[in-house]
A and B are shown apart, each in its own frame.
Chain A
Amino acid sequence: GDSVTQMEGPVTLSEEAFLTINCTYTATGYPSLFWYVQYPGEGLQLLLKATKADDKGSNKGFEATYRKETTSFHLEKGSVQVSDSAVYFCALSTSDRDDKIIFGKGTRLHILP
Protein backbone atom coordinates (compact mmCIF):
# COMPACT_ATOMS: atom_id res chain seq x y z
CA GLY A 1 0.00 0.00 0.00
CA ASP A 2 0.87 3.66 -0.08
CA SER A 3 3.41 4.82 2.50
CA VAL A 4 5.82 7.56 3.52
CA THR A 5 9.22 6.86 5.06
CA GLN A 6 11.34 9.60 6.54
CA MET A 7 14.62 9.48 8.36
CA GLU A 8 14.42 8.91 12.06
CA GLY A 9 15.56 11.58 14.41
CA PRO A 10 16.50 13.33 16.38
CA VAL A 11 18.81 15.24 14.09
CA THR A 12 21.17 17.63 15.85
CA LEU A 13 23.08 20.28 13.92
CA SER A 14 24.99 23.43 14.67
CA GLU A 15 23.66 26.76 13.51
CA GLU A 16 24.49 27.55 9.87
CA ALA A 17 24.96 23.87 9.00
CA PHE A 18 23.42 22.30 5.90
CA LEU A 19 20.28 20.28 6.51
CA THR A 20 18.86 17.30 4.67
CA ILE A 21 15.91 15.28 5.92
CA ASN A 22 15.19 12.33 3.67
CA CYS A 23 11.69 11.32 2.63
CA THR A 24 10.69 8.55 0.25
CA TYR A 25 7.25 7.39 -0.68
CA THR A 26 5.34 4.59 -2.33
CA ALA A 27 2.10 5.41 -4.04
CA THR A 28 -0.07 4.39 -6.93
CA GLY A 29 -1.01 7.21 -9.21
CA TYR A 30 0.30 10.74 -8.85
CA PRO A 31 0.33 11.98 -5.28
CA SER A 32 0.81 15.50 -4.01
CA LEU A 33 3.73 15.77 -1.59
CA PHE A 34 4.04 17.99 1.46
CA TRP A 35 6.39 18.98 4.23
CA TYR A 36 4.76 20.17 7.42
CA VAL A 37 6.51 21.63 10.45
CA GLN A 38 5.42 21.49 14.08
CA TYR A 39 6.90 23.94 16.54
CA PRO A 40 6.72 23.12 20.26
CA GLY A 41 3.21 23.34 21.65
CA GLU A 42 1.62 24.05 18.29
CA GLY A 43 -0.25 22.24 15.54
CA LEU A 44 1.33 21.30 12.25
CA GLN A 45 1.63 23.94 9.57
CA LEU A 46 2.49 23.63 5.93
CA LEU A 47 6.12 24.35 5.11
CA LEU A 48 6.07 23.59 1.38
CA LYS A 49 4.43 21.34 -1.18
CA ALA A 50 4.74 20.00 -4.73
CA THR A 51 1.94 18.58 -6.83
CA LYS A 52 3.72 17.00 -9.80
CA ALA A 53 7.01 15.47 -10.81
CA ASP A 54 10.04 17.82 -10.94
CA ASP A 55 8.17 20.56 -9.07
CA LYS A 56 10.23 22.29 -6.40
CA GLY A 57 8.53 23.59 -3.29
CA SER A 58 10.27 26.29 -1.29
CA ASN A 59 9.60 28.42 1.76
CA LYS A 60 11.68 30.11 4.49
CA GLY A 61 14.90 28.90 2.89
CA PHE A 62 13.74 25.28 2.79
CA GLU A 63 13.44 23.42 -0.51
CA ALA A 64 12.25 20.01 -1.68
CA THR A 65 11.99 18.61 -5.20
CA TYR A 66 9.42 16.02 -6.27
CA ARG A 67 11.52 13.21 -7.77
CA LYS A 68 9.33 10.60 -9.36
CA GLU A 69 12.24 8.48 -10.61
CA THR A 70 13.55 8.01 -7.07
CA THR A 71 10.15 8.45 -5.35
CA SER A 72 11.69 11.01 -3.04
CA PHE A 73 10.94 14.45 -1.63
CA HIS A 74 13.98 15.31 0.51
CA LEU A 75 13.90 18.50 2.55
CA GLU A 76 16.98 20.73 2.41
CA LYS A 77 18.15 24.02 3.82
CA GLY A 78 21.50 25.59 3.22
CA SER A 79 22.00 27.28 6.59
CA VAL A 80 19.83 26.36 9.55
CA GLN A 81 18.96 28.62 12.46
CA VAL A 82 18.11 27.88 16.07
CA SER A 83 14.53 28.90 15.26
CA ASP A 84 14.28 25.95 12.82
CA SER A 85 14.24 23.53 15.76
CA ALA A 86 10.97 21.65 15.35
CA VAL A 87 9.48 18.37 14.16
CA TYR A 88 9.21 17.95 10.39
CA PHE A 89 6.64 15.69 8.75
CA CYS A 90 6.64 14.46 5.18
CA ALA A 91 3.19 13.63 3.79
CA LEU A 92 1.42 12.58 0.64
CA SER A 93 -2.13 12.73 -0.57
CA THR A 94 -3.74 10.96 -3.47
CA SER A 95 -7.13 11.24 -5.04
CA ASP A 96 -7.04 8.57 -7.68
CA ARG A 97 -8.95 5.38 -7.12
CA ASP A 98 -8.68 5.72 -3.35
CA ASP A 99 -8.46 8.99 -1.48
CA LYS A 100 -5.55 8.83 0.95
CA ILE A 101 -3.61 11.16 3.17
CA ILE A 102 -0.51 9.66 4.77
CA PHE A 103 1.98 11.29 7.13
CA GLY A 104 5.48 10.10 7.92
CA LYS A 105 6.48 9.57 11.55
CA GLY A 106 8.19 12.92 11.83
CA THR A 107 11.83 13.94 12.32
CA ARG A 108 12.80 16.02 15.31
CA LEU A 109 15.44 18.64 14.53
CA HIS A 110 17.61 20.33 17.17
CA ILE A 111 19.77 23.27 16.16
CA LEU A 112 22.53 24.24 18.57
CA PRO A 113 23.71 27.87 18.78
Chain B
Amino acid sequence: DAGVIQSTRHEVTEMGQEVTLRCKPISGHDYLFWYRQTMMRGLELLIYFNNNVPIDDSGMPEDRFSAKMPNASFSTLKIQPSEPRDSAVYFCASSLNLWETQYFGPGTRLLVL
Protein backbone atom coordinates (compact mmCIF):
# COMPACT_ATOMS: atom_id res chain seq x y z
CA ASP B 1 0.00 0.00 0.00
CA ALA B 2 1.21 3.51 -0.78
CA GLY B 3 0.32 4.86 2.65
CA VAL B 4 -1.52 8.10 3.29
CA ILE B 5 -1.00 10.43 0.37
CA GLN B 6 -0.65 14.18 0.66
CA SER B 7 0.66 14.93 -2.77
CA THR B 8 1.40 18.60 -2.11
CA ARG B 9 4.38 18.97 0.21
CA HIS B 10 4.64 22.75 0.08
CA GLU B 11 1.95 25.33 -0.54
CA VAL B 12 2.51 29.07 -0.67
CA THR B 13 -0.37 31.50 -0.92
CA GLU B 14 -1.16 35.10 -0.16
CA MET B 15 -3.30 36.35 2.66
CA GLY B 16 -6.97 36.36 1.73
CA GLN B 17 -6.69 33.58 -0.82
CA GLU B 18 -8.47 30.26 -0.58
CA VAL B 19 -6.26 27.23 -0.05
CA THR B 20 -7.32 23.58 -0.28
CA LEU B 21 -5.27 20.75 1.11
CA ARG B 22 -5.91 17.22 -0.09
CA CYS B 23 -5.53 13.77 1.36
CA LYS B 24 -5.99 10.20 0.23
CA PRO B 25 -6.22 7.76 3.15
CA ILE B 26 -5.11 4.15 3.17
CA SER B 27 -7.70 1.98 1.48
CA GLY B 28 -9.97 0.25 3.97
CA HIS B 29 -9.33 2.68 6.82
CA ASP B 30 -12.57 3.97 8.29
CA TYR B 31 -11.09 6.91 10.20
CA LEU B 32 -9.44 10.01 8.77
CA PHE B 33 -7.83 12.77 10.82
CA TRP B 34 -6.56 16.26 10.05
CA TYR B 35 -3.87 17.77 12.27
CA ARG B 36 -2.01 21.05 12.35
CA GLN B 37 1.52 21.38 13.73
CA THR B 38 3.31 24.58 14.67
CA MET B 39 6.26 25.33 16.91
CA MET B 40 4.11 27.42 19.21
CA ARG B 41 1.07 25.17 19.57
CA GLY B 42 2.50 21.74 18.83
CA LEU B 43 0.29 19.08 17.24
CA GLU B 44 -3.42 19.91 17.20
CA LEU B 45 -6.24 17.61 16.10
CA LEU B 46 -8.53 19.69 13.91
CA ILE B 47 -11.22 17.21 12.86
CA TYR B 48 -11.77 13.54 12.28
CA PHE B 49 -14.15 11.48 10.17
CA ASN B 50 -15.60 8.01 10.58
CA ASN B 51 -16.91 6.41 7.40
CA ASN B 52 -16.86 9.82 5.69
CA VAL B 53 -18.92 11.48 8.43
CA PRO B 54 -17.37 14.25 10.57
CA ILE B 55 -17.37 13.08 14.19
CA ASP B 56 -15.49 15.75 16.10
CA ASP B 57 -14.63 19.14 14.65
CA SER B 58 -14.06 20.86 17.98
CA GLY B 59 -10.45 21.49 17.05
CA MET B 60 -11.25 23.51 13.95
CA PRO B 61 -9.99 26.97 14.87
CA GLU B 62 -12.72 29.08 13.27
CA ASP B 63 -15.26 29.29 10.51
CA ARG B 64 -12.58 29.98 7.94
CA PHE B 65 -11.67 26.30 8.17
CA SER B 66 -13.81 23.56 6.66
CA ALA B 67 -13.23 19.90 5.86
CA LYS B 68 -15.04 17.44 3.69
CA MET B 69 -14.83 13.78 2.89
CA PRO B 70 -16.97 13.14 -0.19
CA ASN B 71 -15.94 9.50 -0.41
CA ALA B 72 -13.79 6.94 1.36
CA SER B 73 -10.69 7.73 -0.67
CA PHE B 74 -10.50 11.51 -0.55
CA SER B 75 -10.68 14.37 1.91
CA THR B 76 -10.05 18.11 1.72
CA LEU B 77 -9.27 20.79 4.26
CA LYS B 78 -10.09 24.27 3.04
CA ILE B 79 -9.09 27.62 4.49
CA GLN B 80 -10.99 30.63 3.17
CA PRO B 81 -9.76 33.32 3.52
CA SER B 82 -6.27 32.33 4.59
CA GLU B 83 -4.24 34.38 7.08
CA PRO B 84 -0.52 34.41 7.92
CA ARG B 85 -1.22 32.75 11.29
CA ASP B 86 -2.52 29.70 9.41
CA SER B 87 1.05 28.94 8.32
CA ALA B 88 1.83 25.48 9.65
CA VAL B 89 2.36 21.89 8.62
CA TYR B 90 -0.95 20.11 8.06
CA PHE B 91 -1.00 16.35 8.45
CA CYS B 92 -3.60 13.87 7.37
CA ALA B 93 -3.75 10.47 9.05
CA SER B 94 -5.95 7.40 8.77
CA SER B 95 -6.64 4.32 10.85
CA LEU B 96 -8.83 1.23 10.92
CA ASN B 97 -10.53 2.42 14.07
CA LEU B 98 -9.95 4.89 16.85
CA TRP B 99 -7.91 2.60 19.08
CA GLU B 100 -5.63 1.34 16.34
CA THR B 101 -2.45 2.84 14.95
CA GLN B 102 -2.77 6.04 12.98
CA TYR B 103 -0.79 6.27 9.77
CA PHE B 104 0.33 9.77 8.94
CA GLY B 105 0.96 11.35 5.59
CA PRO B 106 4.14 13.36 4.96
CA GLY B 107 2.34 16.62 5.63
CA THR B 108 1.76 19.80 3.64
CA ARG B 109 3.76 22.81 4.75
CA LEU B 110 1.56 25.86 4.23
CA LEU B 111 2.99 29.36 4.10
CA VAL B 112 0.56 32.26 3.97
CA LEU B 113 2.27 35.50 3.02
Contact = CB atoms under 8 A, between A and B. Distances in A.
Contact of A43 (B42, B91, B97): B91
Contacts of A89: 43
A103 B43 contact: yes
B77 to A, nearest CB: 15
A82 B43 CA distance: 24
B106 A42 contact: yes
Binding site of A, secondary structure by majority: helix, strand, loop or mixed?
Answer: strand
A93 interface: yes
B98 A93 contact: yes
Contact of A46 (B45, B97, B102): B102
Given A99-B56, A103-B43, A32 B106 contact: no
Contact of A95 (B98, B104, B105): B98
Interface in B67-107: 91, 93, 97-99, 101-107
Interface string B6-47: 000000000000000000000000000100000000110100
